[in-house]
């Protein structure tokens, strides 16, 4: 890639004096300017589908904190939306969708043209790319097929999504077909994001946690490998980051996916284990407990310093071990970012 971006360089193996930094959920309710635009848009989905507003929201954390990368403002559930699952976000309840329970619910999915329903997303990417300087990267993303499937099967957020594996034991062909359809659509969706201007791609497998082997391999790792290899075959310049949350030592299996450039680690993982076992294969990203940023101060700086020290001699991207929570004070994000940039506590 010709773009001289610290973030993209780290993904291709460069080590710099201080790592590039961006944050999961860097745009969102903890920012007053987000809440203002969100109120103006009406609903969260209206905001996602208005490319001017969504691009503005994407840029808000870059303006405030001068981060190295902007992550597209959208949601992993826009694919189920495009598949006609009646997605809505009820205040205080999180996402609600019409659950898929039968073969007949998914039989039309293969033929569904999701890209025209999602055209606003690609416009958001293009507008964001055009508004950013060369040295800032735009990250496109999608949910991993398994994580998206958990919402489609349950119709909502679950406490223990891994329990849905029971449906796989009962109806293996049905679940396999759903995952396969999502894999195919995700490849097309991400290619379109890259063509619209995304410089890198992240895949979120938030609910990989708790799946036993070999179900994890079948429903999480293999679909991600298929997506990564299809993207690399047609868009070889674009780095791919995987974020399989809560998979512990199984993260090695994700790091070994030959087409992955980066691997996000969650806050439950011992970062020294990650340094010893993952850094030979991929650029590690993240790790900081987002709840440390709520109170900030010494505990936050100490944990950030541990990560900086551990990863100082290997390619590394600073980030959280999951997204910011809404009660995070933006001042603490500013202080953390300055600290990562070597400007002291």
**Active site residue ranges:** 25, 29, 38, 75, 151
Short-list 153, 151, 144, CA closest to 171: 153
Q: Which of residues 143-182 bind ligand CP3 (CB under 6 A)?
A: 143, 147, 157
- Total residues at the site for ligand CP3 (CB under 6 A)? 23
Among 20, 80, 95, 264, binds ligand CP3 (CB under 6 A): 95
234 is a site residue for ligand CP3 (CB under 6 A): no
Least Å distance, CB 209 to ligand CP3, is 11
337 is a site residue for ligand CP3 (CB under 6 A): no
Nearer to ligand CP3 by Cβ, of 38 and 226: the residue is 38
Tokens representing 110 are 């293969």
73 is a site residue for ligand CP3 (CB under 6 A): yes
Nearer to ligand CP3 by Cβ, of 76 and 284: the residue is 76
- Write the CB contacts of 36 (distance below 8 Å, at least 6 apart in sequence): none
Exposed / middle / buried, residue 42 (Cβ in 10 Å: 0-12, 13-18, 19+) = exposed
Least Å distance, CB 283 to ligand CP3, is 19
Q: Which of residues 264-323 bind ligand CP3 (CB under 6 A)?
A: 323
Q: Could you give the CA distance from residue 8 to residue 33 in angstroms, rounded to a whole number?
A: 28
Nearer to ligand CP3 by Cβ, of 46 and 103: the residue is 46
37 is a site residue for ligand CP3 (CB under 6 A): no
Least Å distance, CB 41 to ligand CP3, is 9
Q: Could you give the CA distance from residue 83 to residue 105 in angstroms, rounded to a whole number?
A: 10
Among 94, 99, 248, 297, binds ligand CP3 (CB under 6 A): 94
Q: Helix (H, G, I), strand (E, B), or coil: what is residue 280?
A: coil
Among 54, 77, 82, 209, binds ligand CP3 (CB under 6 A): 77
Bin 83: left if φ > 0, else alpha if -120 < ψ < 50, else beta.
alpha
Residue with the shortest CB distance to ligand CP3? 206
Q: What is the DSSP letter of 238?
A: S
Q: Does residue 208 contact residue 246 with C-beta atoms inside 8 Å? A: yes
Q: Could you give the CA distance from residue 162 to residue 160 in angstroms, rounded to a whole number?
A: 5
> How many alpha carbons fall within 13 Å on the CB side of residue 120?
18
Q: Could you give the CA distance from residue 110 to residue 8 in angstroms, rounded to a whole number?
A: 34
330 is a site residue for ligand CP3 (CB under 6 A): no
Q: Which stretch binds ligand CP3 (CB under 6 A): 88-96, 122-130, 296-304, 310-318?
A: 88-96
User: What DSSP letter does each residue of 167-232 carry, written as one string?
Assistant: HHHH-HHHHHHHHHHHHHHHHHHHHHHHHHT-SEEEEEETT-TTPPTTHHIIIIIHHHHHHHHHHH
Secondary structure (H, E, C), 5-47: CHHHHHHCCCCCCCCCECCCCCCCCCCHHHHHHHHHHCCHHHH
Nearer to ligand CP3 by Cβ, of 7 and 73: the residue is 73
26 is a site residue for ligand CP3 (CB under 6 A): yes
Among 6, 38, 127, 218, binds ligand CP3 (CB under 6 A): 38
Least Å distance, CB 145 to ligand CP3, is 13
Among 28, 286, 296, 315, binds ligand CP3 (CB under 6 A): 28
Residues that bind ligand CP3 (CB under 6 A): 24-29, 38, 44, 71, 73, 75-77, 89, 94-95, 141, 143, 147, 157, 204, 206, 323
């Amino acid at each position: 890639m010709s773009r001289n971006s610290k973030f993209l360089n780290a993904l291709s193996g460069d080590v710099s004096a201080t790592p590039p930094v961006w944050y999961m959920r860097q745009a969102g309710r903890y920012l007053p300017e987000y809440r203002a635009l969100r109120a103006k848009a009406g609903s969260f989905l209206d905001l996602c589908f208005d490319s001017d507003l969504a691009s503005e929201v994407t840029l808000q954390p870059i303006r405030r904190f001068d981060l190295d990368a902007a992550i597209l403002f959208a949601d992993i559930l826009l694919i189920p939306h495009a598949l006609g699952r009646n997605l809505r976000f009820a205040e205080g309840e999180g996402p609600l969708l019409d659950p898929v329970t039968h073969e007949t619910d998914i039989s039309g999915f293969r033929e569904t043209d999701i890209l025209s329903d999602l055209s606003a997303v690609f416009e958001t990417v293009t507008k964001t790319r055009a508004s950013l300087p060369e040295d800032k990267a735009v990250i496109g993303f999608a949910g991993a097929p398994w994580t998206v499937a958990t919402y489609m099967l349950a119709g909502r957020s679950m406490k223990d999504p891994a329990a849905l594996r029971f449906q796989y034991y009962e109806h293996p062909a049905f679940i396999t077909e759903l995952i396969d359809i999502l894999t195919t659509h995700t490849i097309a969706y991400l290619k379109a994001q890259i063509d619209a201007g995304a410089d890198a791609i992240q895949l979120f497998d938030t609910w990989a946690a708790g799946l036993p082997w070999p179900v994890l391999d079948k429903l999480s790792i293999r679909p991600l490998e298929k997506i990564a290899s299809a993207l690399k075959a047609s868009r070889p310049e674009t780095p791919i980051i995987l974020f399989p949350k809560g998979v512990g030592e199984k993260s090695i299996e994700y790091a070994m996916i030959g087409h992955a450039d980066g691997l996000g680690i969650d806050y439950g993982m011992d970062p020294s284990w990650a340094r010893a076992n993952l850094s030979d294969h991929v650029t590690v990203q993240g790790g900081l407990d987002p709840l440390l940023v709520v109170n900030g101060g010494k505990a936050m700086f100490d944990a950030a310093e541990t990560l900086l020290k551990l990863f100082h001699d290997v390619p590394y991207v600073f980030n959280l071990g999951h997204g910011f929570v809404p009660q995070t004070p933006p001042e603490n994000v500013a202080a953390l970012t300055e600290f990562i940039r070597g400007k002291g506590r």
